[in-house]
Amino acid sequence: MYTVADWPLPDTANSDLIIYWGRQPIYSGPVSSAARAFLEATQRGTRIIAIKPSVEPDAGMADTWVPVRPGTDAALALAMLHVVIKEDLIDHDFVARWCYGFEPLKAQVRQYSPEWAQIITGVPAAQIEEVARAYATCPRAAIDVGNGLEHAPSASDAVRAIAMLMAVTGHLDRPGTNLLKLPPPKAPGDITLKHRFTGELVDKLVAPEFPKYFQPFLEGPTSAYYRIWESVLTQNPYPVRGIIAPGTQPLASTRGTRNVLAALERLDFFVVLDVARTPEIPWADIVMPVATGYETDHPFQYGPSWLMSTNRVINPLGPYKSMFEFFLDLGKAMDYGDDFWQGDIMACMDEQLAPLGVDMAGLRQHPVGLTFSPARHEYEKFDRVFKRPSTRLDKGPFLPQGKVALYNTTFEQAGYPPMPEWREPPESITATPDLTRTYPLILSDYHTSKNFSASWQRNVPFLRELEPDPMLHIHPDTAGTRGIKDGDWIKVTSPHGWLRVRAQLYPGIRPDTVMLLHGWWQGCQELKMADYPLTDGGANVNIMYSVDPEKAYDPMVTAMTSQTLVEVEKCRRPK
C-alpha cells in the first residue's frame, strides 16, 4: 500500500505474459478463480513464468521455471530492477509523471547485478536477464505474487521491489498488466472501534522495535505473534500473564516451538478456543469448544459484486456458540455491553450491513445472495489511486507525493530504509558459508497441500491413508549421494533441532534444497497413529529455524523466516 497505494492484482484474462511468483494457483482449488485464470491463460497461449524453488503442478505447466533458492526473492527482484533500469527498458513517460525518487532508486539497484544475484539465488544471471527483458518488453505483462515471498527477513523488500518493477516498466493499470483499484462506493461498516482503542493498543504492543511514528500505520496489533511468547518469558516490555488462543495453534504454527512450550508453562491463564483438539490443550486452564461454520448462521459473505448470508447447515451438536459470539459475550461480561451489541450477533451484523441498505433478515430472503453488476474497469486512474486517503485514523495519504514511492519518505521518517535492499536469511549458503560444511542443504516448508488444510486434518482416516507420513521432497541426485531411497525414513538436522520424516525423491526441486509440508502433529486414532512429538524427533518444522530477533524476522512486517541449513541421513522408522 505504501508503494503504489494498492496491491495491484493481475489482469490475467488479458495478459500475454504472467509471472507467478511464489504462487500455487492450482493447489488453491480446481474451481477457484486463481486456478481457472491460470488454466485459461495456458490454453490461450500466454507465456507463463513460475518463480519458486520446486515444481508443483503450476510450475510444471509453465513455459519457464525459475528455480530460486528459498528466501532470496528480494535479491532476484532487485536484480531484475537492475536489468530493466540499466538497459533502459523503462516507461519514461510513466516514470516522469507518476514516480517519485527514480534517480535514487537507479543508484540503489546499481549494486544488485544479475551476477551478484546468481551467487545468492542460484538462478543463472542469463536467466535473470532474459526474464527481466521479457517482462519489461511485453506490453501486456503481469505478476501474480503469492505468500511464498512472505517468510524471509527481506519479505517486505521483495514485495516493494516487485511493485517498483511493475511501476518503472509501466505495467500498472493498463490492459493485461496489474490493475489498480479504488474502494467500492459502498462497503460494510467498520465495527472495529479502532477510533477509540488504537492509541491504547499501540501503547501496549509487545513489539518495541516498531518506532512510535510507524505504529499508527499498523493501528493495532502487529503480525509479530511470536513476540507475545517472548514477552511471557522475558517480561519485556511488560509481563504477559494471560492469553486467549482463538482458532490458532501456536505450537504447530509459530517459530520457536520450545519458547512457546516454556511460555505455556509460565502463563497464569491460558484459554483455547477452537472447533477441535489442538496441541496446546494440555496447558489450557479453559477449553472452550465453539461451533463450526456448518452450525452457525453468521457472518455474512461479501465480495466486490456479491453479498450473501451464511446459512446454517445443521443445528449445533451441543451447547456451542460461534467464535464471534464468544467475544461478544465476553465483552458484555466485562461490562463493555454497549460496545458489543449486548451480545446480540444479529445486531452486530445489521450494523455492518447498514451502509449497504440491507439487514440480515432481508439478506436471508435471497438464499443464493445478491449480485451486483461490476462496473467496467477504468484504466489509468493513477491520479485518484495515488492520492487516495489511507485507512488510518488520520486519513493521511498512502503516498504523500501522490506518486509511486520509489523512494519512500514515510518509511524514512519512521526509521526504515526508504528503498528496498537485500538482507540475508539468518542461515544460508552465502550468509553462513562455514555452516554449510555441516549443513549443506537448504530447508524450507510449504503450507498448501492437496490433502490437508494447514495444521489440521491429519486425524481424518481417509486423508491419512492418502498421505500417512510426513514426506521431505529431496532431489534424486541429492538422495543418491547419501544412499537414500524413495520412502526411506530419514533424519533431518539443522543447527536448532532435528526431525524424523520420510524421503520423497522429487526431481522437480533444486538439488541444494529440501522442502517439507508444514503442520504435522496430529495422530489418527482410527488408524492407531500417535501424535508426533512437538520438538526433536517429530515432524514439526518450526523447531528447525532460527528465532534470533536480530536476523530471523522482517523488521517491517515481522514475517518469520522459513529457511535454514540442514543435513539429511537415513534413520530407523519411529516406534
Query: By percentage, how much of the chain surpasses pLDDT 70?
Result: 94
The x, y and z cell numbers of residue 235, run together, are: 517480561
State whether 138 and 246 are in the same domain.
no
pTM above 0.85, yes or no: yes
Q: Which helix (H) or strand (E) holds 555?
A: none
State whether 18 and 132 are in the same domain.
yes
Of 45 and 59, the structure prediction assigns the larger pLDDT to: 45
291-309 average pLDDT score: 90
Phi, psi of 428 (to 5 degrees): -160, 170
State whether 222 and 337 are in the same domain.
yes
118-147 average pLDDT score: 97
Under DSSP, the state recorded for 111 is T
Instruction: Report yes or no: 418 and 406 within 8 Å, Cβ to Cβ.
Output: no
Note the pLDDT of residue 336. 94
pLDDT per position as a tens digit, 448-486: 787 888 888 999 999 999 999 999 999 999 999 999 999
Note the pLDDT of residue 86. 99
Separation CA 519–CA 531 (nearest Å): 12
Identify the bridge partners of residue 242 per DSSP, sorted by sequence position.
269
Instruction: Assign residue 253 the CATH number of its domain.
Output: 3.40.50.740
State whether 53 and 88 are in the same domain.
yes
Q: Does the CA dihedral 65-423-25-185 come out positive or negative?
A: negative
Q: Confirm whether 547 is domain-assigned.
A: yes
Q: What is the 3-state secondary structure (H, E, C) of 194-208?
A: HHHHHHHHHHCCCCC
Instruction: Report yes or no: 535 and 261 within 8 Å, Cβ to Cβ.
Output: yes
By three-state DSSP, how is residue 536 classified? coil
74-79 average pLDDT score: 98
Which of the listed ranges 125-134, 358-367, 389-398 does the model predict with the highest average pLDDT?
A: 125-134
Q: Confirm whether 273 is domain-assigned.
A: yes
Note the pLDDT of residue 495. 97
- Structural domain of residue 204, as residue ranges? 194-371
Q: Which helix (H) or strand (E) holds 411?
A: helix 409-413
Note the pLDDT of residue 413. 84
Instruction: Report yes or no: 372 and 305 within 8 Å, Cβ to Cβ.
Output: yes
Q: Confirm whether 424 is domain-assigned.
A: no
Residue 241 CB neighbour total at 10 angstroms: 12
Instruction: Report yes or no: 168 and 82 within 8 Å, Cβ to Cβ.
Output: no
51-79 average pLDDT score: 93
Instruction: Report yes or no: 494 and 435 within 8 Å, Cβ to Cβ.
Output: no
Note the pLDDT of residue 147. 83
**pLDDT at residue 31 above 60?**
no
The x, y and z cell numbers of residue 242, run together, are: 494471560
Q: Confirm whether 510 is domain-assigned.
A: yes
316-343 average pLDDT score: 95
State whether 172 and 217 are in the same domain.
no
Note the pLDDT of residue 564. 96
Predicted confidence band of residue 411 (pLDDT cuts 50, 70, 90): confident
Picking from 356, 384, 413, the residue at the C-terminal end of a domain is: 413
CA 497 to the chain's CA centroid = 24
**pLDDT at residue 415 above 90?**
no
Strands across the sheet containing 242-246:
242-246, 269-274, 286-289
The x, y and z cell numbers of residue 327, run together, are: 467475544
Strands 513-517 and 471-474: antiparallel
pLDDT per position as a tens digit, 519-535: 999 999 999 999 999 99
Instruction: Report yes or no: 152 and 74 within 8 Å, Cβ to Cβ.
Output: yes
76-89 average pLDDT score: 99
Distances (CA, A) of 248 to 153, 251, 270, 464, 563: 23, 9, 13, 22, 22
Q: Closest Cα to residue 219, out of 202, 200, 196?
A: 202
Instruction: Assign residue 141 the CATH number of its domain.
Output: 3.40.228.10
Please tell me the total count of domains within the chain.
Answer: 3
**pLDDT at residue 371 above 90?**
no
Instruction: Report yes or no: 2 and 410 within 8 Å, Cβ to Cβ.
Output: yes
State whether 407 and 485 are in the same domain.
no
**Average pLDDT across the chain, whole number:** 90
**pLDDT at residue 515 above 80?**
yes
State whether 464 and 541 are in the same domain.
yes
Question: Comparing 7-16, 83-92, 197-206, 363-372, which segment has the lowest mean pLDDT?
Answer: 197-206
Q: Confirm whether 378 is domain-assigned.
A: no
Picking from 353, 371, 389, the residue at the C-terminal end of a domain is: 371
Note the pLDDT of residue 78. 99
State whether 31 and 75 are in the same domain.
yes
Q: What are the DSSP E strand ranges found in 86-211?
A: 99-100, 141-145, 178-179
**pLDDT at residue 305 above 90?**
no
Note the pLDDT of residue 447. 80
Helices first, then strands: H and E counts in the chain: 20, 20
Note the pLDDT of residue 213. 43
Question: Comparing 165-169, 211-215, 235-239, which segment has the lowest mean pLDDT?
Answer: 211-215
State whether 173 and 212 are in the same domain.
no
Distances (CA, A) of 119 to 80, 273, 354, 465: 15, 46, 56, 42
Distances (CA, A) of 502 to 37, 473, 492, 520, 539: 34, 9, 10, 13, 10
Note the pLDDT of residue 204. 66
79-86 average pLDDT score: 99
205-222 average pLDDT score: 51
State whether 408 and 438 are in the same domain.
no
Q: Confirm whether 1 is domain-assigned.
A: no
Q: Does the CA dihedral 228-230-231-236 come out positive or negative?
A: negative
Predicted confidence band of residue 551 (pLDDT cuts 50, 70, 90): confident
**pLDDT at residue 224 above 80?**
no
Separation CA 327–CA 340 (nearest Å): 8
Q: Does the CA dihedral 262-263-267-272 come out positive or negative?
A: negative
pLDDT per position as a tens digit, 154-211: 999 999 999 999 999 999 999 999 999 988 888 899 888 777 666 666 666 666 555 4
Question: Comparing 162-171, 293-302, 346-355, 563-572, which segment has the lowest mean pLDDT?
Answer: 293-302
Instruction: Report yes or no: 499 and 489 within 8 Å, Cβ to Cβ.
Output: no
Instruction: Report yes or no: 132 and 117 within 8 Å, Cβ to Cβ.
Output: no
State whether 111 and 165 are in the same domain.
yes
State whether 332 and 454 are in the same domain.
no
Q: Confirm whether 318 is domain-assigned.
A: yes
pLDDT per position as a tens digit, 481-511: 999 999 999 999 999 999 999 999 999 999 9
Q: Closest Cα to residue 455, out of 558, 565, 542, 568?
A: 542
**pLDDT at residue 221 above 50?**
no
Instruction: Assign residue 563 the CATH number of its domain.
Output: 2.40.40.20
Note the pLDDT of residue 509. 96
Strands across the sheet containing 64-66:
64-66, 47-51, 17-21, 141-145
Separation CA 6–CA 411 (nearest Å): 16
Q: Confirm whether 390 is domain-assigned.
A: no
